[in-house]
Structure 1
């Protein structure tokens, strides 16, 4: 502890030293939680944002992949590819609109 003179100031009263120690312990616990992946759980807004992003990307990629596969099978390149890519994107946006219009428990 004597080597840790920059972390602890012995000239401070005992109460202030305890407060300083509590702050250092809290900071160390926060850093450890981040390091081990046990940080705070994501809040509802972050979860909704991730859900919106996944819905949009899923619609776009799903429509594109299905369109590409059908075009390869049927030899209609690029008609189904473009059509299903647009429809997949539109369905992703439609799902996002429906999500934004639903009431949450908080809204009641």
Structure 2
């Protein structure tokens, strides 16, 4: 052969094994890369700043649910009043409008447009 065989004379394996040398070089290279590599940037999918609060989609679903619940409650109460009292369209119309207004009020209250009212009584009595 041409004498370039790393196993030594006649292929007896007297020299260093190529796999051992390659593994050692690979480990040295990995440690050098780890030392020079800057720390990894935080994952953009993780929301460390908003982990405590609700998501935008959750807020939107709550607001729409508050509105729809007010309108549906007014509609059903109006329909029930019309059935019981015999005031065919007027109970439904009046209570549907009141349900619409209640839905708007609930959306404004939940979104923070109105300041929160303190339900606790002042212990000093003033």
Report the TM-score when normalising by structure 1: 0.53
Aligned residues: 61
Give distance in 1, aligned partners of 2:65 and 2:86: 30
Whole-angstrom distance in 1 between the partners of 2:62 and 2:111: 11
Counterparts of residues 12-91 of structure 1 (less than 5 Å): 44-91=55-102
Runs of at least 4 residues of structure 1 off by over 6 A? none
* Contact 2:63–2:111 (Cα < 8 Å) also in 1: no
Deviations 1:21-47 (A, max 9, x none): xxxxxxxxxxxxxxxxxxxxxx52111
Pick from 89, 94, 111 the counterpart of residue 100 of structure 1: 111
Q: With CA pairs under 8 Å and 6+ residues apart, which has the higher RCO, 1 or 2?
A: 1
Larger Rg: 2
In the alignment, structure 2 segments of 5+ residues that lack a partner are 1-53, 116-126
Aligned-pair RMSD on alpha carbons?
A: 1.6
Which consecutive residues of structure 1, in runs of 5 or more, have no partner in the other structure? 1-42, 104-108
